[in-house]
Amino acid sequence: MRRIAVLVSGGGTNLQALIDAQKSGIIHSGEIVLVIANNADAYALTRAADAGIASEVVLKKQLGSQAAFEEKIKELLKQYAIDVIVLAGFMSILSESFTSCYPKRILNVHPSLIPSFCGEGFYGLRVHQAALDYGVKVTGATVHFVNEIPDGGEIILQKAVEIQPGDTPEILQKRVMEQAEWKILPAAVEQVCSAM
């Protein structure tokens, strides 16, 4: 059984999808044992507590530098003997000195079909706004391994979602989450855990 840590910054809807997938047996080769938030007010921490999962808050402001921030996260990953790391709406870019310690062990979900609308500066509603501005007819989500290039790691799974007339970034974000992110993220986590 692989030990999973989920890194979060906000509401934790993807964390909830993972918790639900674990309960329903979609994820059965791994177990979420730790949630790390870089925001003390993240609702994801409440979701972790409700599910009986240990959580820790690591604040870059308190630690003073990216290096100290990443070092603290590494300490926690070691302390909890983590095998697989999932970035679920984690709003902090991790450096190469961090990502290189965990090759093919860090997963991220991105709300577009990479290589479209990805890379530095593309996150949250910005991604969906860009897709609408460009006029694409299909968007979706991608789960990929994390390396030192934002959204640049090897793709694990993708799922397409159609854009509807009258979509706003908010409406599109919700559809992409429901139809793609919440399905492929748990599937990818199980795939990686079972292959280890």
pLDDT digits (tens, 9 = 90+) for 102-158: 999 999 999 999 999 999 899 999 999 999 999 999 999 999 999 989 999 999 999
pLDDT digits (tens, 9 = 90+) for 35-57: 999 999 999 999 999 999 999 99
Task: Kindly indicate the confidence band of residue 164, based on its pLDDT and cuts at 50, 70 and 90.
Answer: very high
Considering 28, 110, 128, 144, which one is annotated as catalytic? 110
Domain boundaries 2-195, corresponding CATH code = 3.40.50.170
Sheet holding 106-110, edge to edge: 54-57, 30-37, 2-8, 84-87, 106-110, 138-145, 155-162
* Domain range summary for the chain, segments of one domain joined by +: 2-195
pLDDT digits (tens, 9 = 90+) for 166-191: 999 999 999 999 999 999 999 999 99
- The question of whether 110 is a catalytic residue gets the answer yes
Record the pTM. 0.96
Residue 19, classed as helix, strand or coil, is: helix
Q: Rounded distance, CA 190 to CA 72, Å?
A: 27
